[in-house]
Amino acid sequence: MSEEQQQEIAKEEKTVTRDLIINSHASEVDIALLEDNILVELHREKTNNQFAVGDVYLGKVKKILPGLNAAFVDVGYPKEAFLHYLDLGLQASSLIKYKKQIVAGEDVPMDKFKLEPDLPKNGKISDWLTMGDLLPVQIAKEPIHTKGPRITAEISFAGRYLVLVPFSNRISVSQKIRSSDERNRLRRLMQSIKPANYGVIIRTVAEGKKVAELDADLRSLISKWEQCTIEMKKMTTFGRMVSEMDQTSVMLRDLLNESFNNIHVNDEKLYEEIQNNIKTFAPQKAEIVQLYKGKEPIFDYYNVTKQIKGFFGRVVTIKNGVYLIIEHTEAMHVIDVNSGHRVNKENSQEDNAFEVNIEAAKEIARQLRLRDMGGIIIVDFIDMHEAKHRKELYDALVEAMKPDRAKHTILPATKFGLIQITRHRVRPETEVQVQEKCPVCDGEGKIRPAILFIDEIENHLKYLMVDQNEDHLTLQVHPFIYSYLCINGLFSIRRKWMKKYGKKFKVQSMPEFHALQYNFQNANGDDIKL
CB contact at 8 A, 355 and 347 = yes
Which of 256, 284, 305 lies at the terminal end of a domain, its last residue? Answer: 305
Q: Is the pTM of this model over 0.75?
A: no
Range with the poorest average pLDDT among 86-90, 114-118, 136-140, 258-262: 258-262
Looking at the structure, do residues 213 and 352 belong to the same domain, yes or no? no
Q: Which pLDDT score is estimated for 13?
A: 45
pLDDT category of residue 8 using cuts at 50, 70 and 90 = very low
Q: Tell me, yes or no, whether 461 and 414 share the same domain.
A: no
**How far are the Cα atoms of 163, 308, 494, 508, 511 from residue 481, in angstroms, in the given order?**
53, 22, 11, 10, 11
Which residues neighbour 405 within 8 Å (Cβ) at sequence distance 6 or greater?
A: 254
pLDDT of residue 5: 47
Do residue 138 and residue 187 come from a single domain? yes
pLDDT the model gives residue 312:
78
Main-chain phi, psi angles of 203, to 5 degrees: -80, 165
Q: What is the pLDDT of residue 345?
A: 59
Which tens digits make up the pLDDT trace of 268-277? 888 888 888 7
Residue where one domain finishes, among candidates 404, 423, 442: 423
pLDDT of residue 183 exceeding 60, the answer is yes
Regarding whether 202 and 109 lie in a shared domain, the answer is yes
Residues 91 and 205 in one domain: yes
Please state, rounded to an integer, the average pLDDT across all residues of the chain: 83
3-state SS, 40-95, equals EEEEEEECCCCCCCCCEEEEEEEEEECCCCEEEEECCCCCCEEEEHHHHCCCHHHH
pLDDT at 200 (0 to 100): 93
Note the pLDDT tens digit of each residue in 457-506: 988 898 888 888 888 899 999 998 999 899 887 788 999 999 999 899 99
pLDDT (tens digit per residue) in 239-249: 888 876 655 66
User: Is residue 5, in this structure, part of any structural domain at all?
Assistant: no
Residues 94 and 180 reside in one and the same domain: yes
Res 426: pLDDT:
60
378: CATH: 3.40.630
Q: Please state at what angle helix 247-255 crosses helix 268-281, rounded to 10 degrees.
A: 40
Do both 194 and 258 map to the same domain?
no
Q: Is residue 1 part of a domain?
A: no
Q: Is residue 373 part of a domain?
A: yes
Residues 269 and 331 placed together within one structural domain of the fold: no
| pLDDT of 149 strictly over 50 | yes
Look at residues 3, 33, 8 and name the one whose alpha carbon lies nearest to residue 299.
Answer: 33
CATH of the domain at 218: 2.40.50.140
pLDDT exceeds cutoff 80 at 136: yes
Better-predicted residue by pLDDT, 489 or 291? 291
pLDDT at 454 over 90: no
| Residue 336 banded pLDDT, cuts 50, 70, 90 | very high
Q: What is the count of structural domains for the chain? A: 4
372 and 279, same domain (yes or no): no
Say whether both 331 and 284 belong to one domain.
no
In a domain, 415, yes or no: yes
Give me the pLDDT at residue 449, please: 62
pLDDT over 90 at 25, yes or no: no
Residue 257 belongs to what domain range?
10-49+247-305
- What is the per-residue pLDDT across 303-323, written as a single tens digit (0 to 9) for each? 888 888 777 778 888 877 788
pLDDT at residue 178 above 60? Answer: yes
Q: What is the pLDDT of residue 269?
A: 83
Q: State percent of the chain over pLDDT 70.
A: 87
Q: If you average pLDDT over residues 148-154, what whole number do you get?
A: 90
- Mean pLDDT in residue range 151-164: 89
How far does Cα 507 stand from its chain's mean position?
34
Asked whether residue 515 is assigned to any structural domain, the reply reads yes
Q: Are 17 and 36 spatial neighbours (Cβ–Cβ below 8 Å)?
A: yes
Task: Quote helix, strand, coil % in the chain, to nearest 5.
Answer: 35, 25, 40
Do 174 and 198 lie in one domain? The reply is yes
Query: Quick check: is 442 in a domain?
Result: no
Fill in the DSSP letter of residue 175.
T
445 inside domain: no
pLDDT tens sequence across 361-396: 999 998 898 888 888 999 999 888 888 998 999 999
Among residues 288, 305, 322, the one where a domain terminates is: 305
Residue 454 to residues 115, 230, 443, 517, Cα–Cα distance (Å): 75, 62, 20, 11
Least confident of 89-93, 182-186, 193-197, 337-341: 337-341
Residue 187's alpha-carbon distances to 159, 196, 283, 288, 491, in angstroms, are 17, 14, 26, 33, 75
Residue 433 lies in a domain: no
Taking only the tens place, the pLDDT of each residue in 34-82 is 888 888 888 877 666 677 788 889 889 999 999 999 999 999 888 899 9
CATH of the domain at 25: 3.30.420
Domain match, 107 and 233 both: yes
